[in-house]
Amino acid sequence: MGVKILPDVGDVAENLGVTGILGVVLLPVFLPVIAGVAKPIVKTAVKGGILFYEKSKGAIAEVGESWEDIVAEARAEIGEARMKSAEPVEASAD
Protein backbone atom coordinates (compact mmCIF):
# COMPACT_ATOMS: atom_id res chain seq x y z
CA MET A 1 0.00 0.00 0.00
CA GLY A 2 1.32 3.43 -0.99
CA VAL A 3 1.09 6.61 0.99
CA LYS A 4 -1.51 9.07 -0.34
CA ILE A 5 -0.18 12.59 -0.57
CA LEU A 6 -3.13 14.23 -2.29
CA PRO A 7 -6.78 13.35 -1.63
CA ASP A 8 -9.04 12.08 -4.41
CA VAL A 9 -10.78 14.85 -6.34
CA GLY A 10 -14.10 13.03 -5.88
CA ASP A 11 -13.72 13.04 -2.09
CA VAL A 12 -12.88 16.76 -2.05
CA ALA A 13 -15.87 17.57 -4.27
CA GLU A 14 -18.19 15.54 -2.02
CA ASN A 15 -16.90 17.21 1.15
CA LEU A 16 -17.03 20.78 -0.21
CA GLY A 17 -20.35 20.57 -1.98
CA VAL A 18 -21.50 22.98 -4.69
CA THR A 19 -21.12 26.08 -2.51
CA GLY A 20 -17.57 25.17 -1.54
CA ILE A 21 -16.55 24.43 -5.12
CA LEU A 22 -18.02 27.75 -6.31
CA GLY A 23 -16.20 29.52 -3.48
CA VAL A 24 -12.86 28.01 -4.49
CA VAL A 25 -13.45 28.83 -8.16
CA LEU A 26 -14.65 32.40 -7.53
CA LEU A 27 -12.13 33.25 -4.81
CA PRO A 28 -9.55 34.67 -7.25
CA VAL A 29 -12.29 36.93 -8.65
CA PHE A 30 -13.59 38.23 -5.32
CA LEU A 31 -10.28 38.50 -3.46
CA PRO A 32 -9.16 41.72 -5.22
CA VAL A 33 -12.64 43.22 -4.67
CA ILE A 34 -12.55 42.34 -0.97
CA ALA A 35 -9.01 43.71 -0.68
CA GLY A 36 -10.07 46.92 -2.43
CA VAL A 37 -12.90 47.43 0.06
CA ALA A 38 -10.90 46.42 3.12
CA LYS A 39 -7.86 48.62 2.39
CA PRO A 40 -9.61 51.97 3.00
CA ILE A 41 -11.22 50.60 6.16
CA VAL A 42 -7.89 49.39 7.52
CA LYS A 43 -6.20 52.66 6.53
CA THR A 44 -8.89 54.65 8.37
CA ALA A 45 -8.41 52.51 11.47
CA VAL A 46 -4.63 53.05 11.35
CA LYS A 47 -5.11 56.82 10.98
CA GLY A 48 -7.42 56.81 13.98
CA GLY A 49 -4.86 54.91 16.02
CA ILE A 50 -2.11 57.35 15.09
CA LEU A 51 -4.27 60.37 15.97
CA PHE A 52 -5.28 58.79 19.29
CA TYR A 53 -1.64 58.07 20.11
CA GLU A 54 -0.56 61.62 19.30
CA LYS A 55 -3.35 63.15 21.38
CA SER A 56 -2.73 60.86 24.32
CA LYS A 57 1.06 61.43 24.41
CA GLY A 58 0.56 64.78 26.15
CA ALA A 59 -1.82 63.30 28.69
CA ILE A 60 0.52 60.39 29.38
CA ALA A 61 3.45 62.78 29.88
CA GLU A 62 1.35 64.85 32.29
CA VAL A 63 0.41 61.77 34.30
CA GLY A 64 4.09 60.76 34.42
CA GLU A 65 5.09 64.17 35.74
CA SER A 66 2.36 64.08 38.38
CA TRP A 67 3.50 60.62 39.45
CA GLU A 68 7.11 61.80 39.76
CA ASP A 69 5.96 64.77 41.88
CA ILE A 70 3.98 62.47 44.19
CA VAL A 71 6.95 60.12 44.61
CA ALA A 72 9.31 63.03 45.34
CA GLU A 73 6.91 64.46 47.95
CA ALA A 74 6.52 61.05 49.60
CA ARG A 75 10.29 60.60 49.77
CA ALA A 76 10.69 64.08 51.25
CA GLU A 77 8.06 63.31 53.91
CA ILE A 78 9.81 60.04 54.77
CA GLY A 79 13.12 61.90 55.09
CA GLU A 80 11.52 64.53 57.37
CA ALA A 81 9.97 61.82 59.54
CA ARG A 82 13.34 60.10 59.89
CA MET A 83 15.03 63.37 60.82
CA LYS A 84 12.41 64.12 63.48
CA SER A 85 12.58 60.65 64.97
CA ALA A 86 16.35 60.54 65.10
CA GLU A 87 17.79 61.24 68.53
CA PRO A 88 20.25 64.08 68.76
CA VAL A 89 23.86 62.97 68.98
CA GLU A 90 25.50 64.06 72.22
CA ALA A 91 28.98 65.43 72.02
CA SER A 92 31.34 63.34 74.07
CA ALA A 93 33.95 65.01 76.18
CA ASP A 94 37.10 63.08 75.48
pLDDT tens for 45-76 read: 999 999 999 989 988 899 999 999 999 999 99
Our CA dihedral for 39, 43, 45, 50, rounded to 10 degrees, sits at: 160
Grouping H, G, I as helix, E, B as strand and the rest as coil, residue 5 is coil
| Side chain identity, residue 75 | R
Q: How many CA atoms lie within 13 A of 78 on its CB side?
A: 6
On the question of pLDDT at 94 being above 80, the answer is no
pLDDT tens for 5-42 read: 655 656 655 666 767 767 777 778 878 888 888 899 99
Domain ranges, ordered by start, for the chain: 35-82
Q: What is the largest CA-CA distance in the chain?
A: 108
Give every CB contact of residue 24 below 8 A, 6+ residues apart in sequence: 16
pLDDT tens for 74-92 read: 999 999 888 888 766 565 5
